[in-house]
Homo-oligomer: A and B are copies of this chain.
């Protein structure tokens, strides 16, 4: 059972836990940004620790905490004591002293679990190497549920680096907690994931997925000599194989694997998906900080205060 103290892996979460988080996110969505400032986390400080670059995760956690009424302190390697040789574990322990909840990203796998054992406050895995990125999986589920209307009986094709993609790993684990979901992969050779049926791009026409989930090739995690072997791209040819009600998602950043000229196609929902990161992370922070009752209570009230 989920202890509601950490969010380290999708493995911690039952189907009911996921549904609860998504329900909180749904309550919070209309209150996020655009002039709303909640008091749910007033006086609480989120410490963000990024041992690896981030844009979406970092900024959406910040915006989430501000909207909840809290404050944020952000650690990055540059300009910090990491440059003087401080260990990452010490940095995490130090940030704990000045904050009430921590979100940490680390390029190494499984380190984040160790950090959680070191600290006495809630800790969120904001991505640990190629391993997991559970808050991303939750925002993806939130997006799928909102766009498709359900989380069971979904057909989803990952056009992706399935091997090194932590967001994909977390999402696949999460989808398997629901029933009758059909999961396929379109992956360059060498980047497949055991247990996921690989299909060709042409088979998209037959499979008619609810979701086409694209990722970039994470070049920084692939041995340099192999980097140039891999490529794929969602262009109009691929888009034409998809039904009208398929939604195309992407964990972002995208490099060459999706043509921005197609962004106006209503099937492409990358930026909506990113925005749901704000709502989902507001829910995660609220729950981990012990404020789920406050979230449930605001269901009816609160406009601009």
Residues of B within 8 A of A34 (CB): 43-44, 100
A65-81, CB < 8 A from B: 66-67, 71, 73, 75-81
In the complex, are the beta carbons of A100 and B55 less than 8 A apart?
A: no
Q: Mark A275-291, 1 if CB is under 8 A from B, else 0.
A: 10110000000000000
In the complex, are the beta carbons of A254 and B99 less than 8 A apart?
A: no
Minimum CB–CB distance for A120 against chain B, Å:
10
Residues of B within 8 A of A90 (CB): 252-254, 260
In the complex, are the beta carbons of B98 and A278 less than 8 A apart?
A: yes
Residues of B within 8 A of A43 (CB): 33-37, 67, 304
Residues of B within 8 A of A91 (CB): 55
User: Whose C-beta in chain B lies nearest to the C-beta of A118?
Assistant: B263
* Complex partner residue of A98 from B54, B63, B76, CB under 8 angstroms: B63
Q: Mark A38-68, 1 if CB is under 8 A from B, else 0.
A: 0000111101001001111011101100110
How many A residues touch the partner, as a band? 35 or more
Q: How many Å lie between the Cα of A255 and that of B37 in the bound state?
A: 42
Minimum CB–CB distance for A191 against chain B, Å:
17
A86-128, CB < 8 A from B: 86-87, 89-91, 93-100
Q: Mark A198-230, 1 if CB is under 8 A from B, else 0.
A: 000000000000000000100010000000000
Known: A54-B81, A81-B253, A84-B255. A94 touches B59 (CB 8 A): yes
Residues of A within 8 A of B (CB): 33-37, 42-45, 47, 50, 53-56, 58-60, 62-63, 66-67, 71, 73, 75-87, 89-91, 93-100, 216, 220, 252-255, 260, 271, 274-275, 277-278, 304
28 A–B contacts, CB within 8 A, in A order: A33-B43, A33-B45, A33-B98, A34-B44, A36-B43, A37-B42, A47-B59, A50-B79, A53-B83, A55-B75, A55-B81, A55-B82, A55-B86, A56-B94, A58-B80, A60-B98, A63-B71, A63-B98, A76-B78, A77-B79, A78-B79, A84-B216, A84-B255, A86-B255, A94-B271, A97-B271, A97-B278, A98-B278
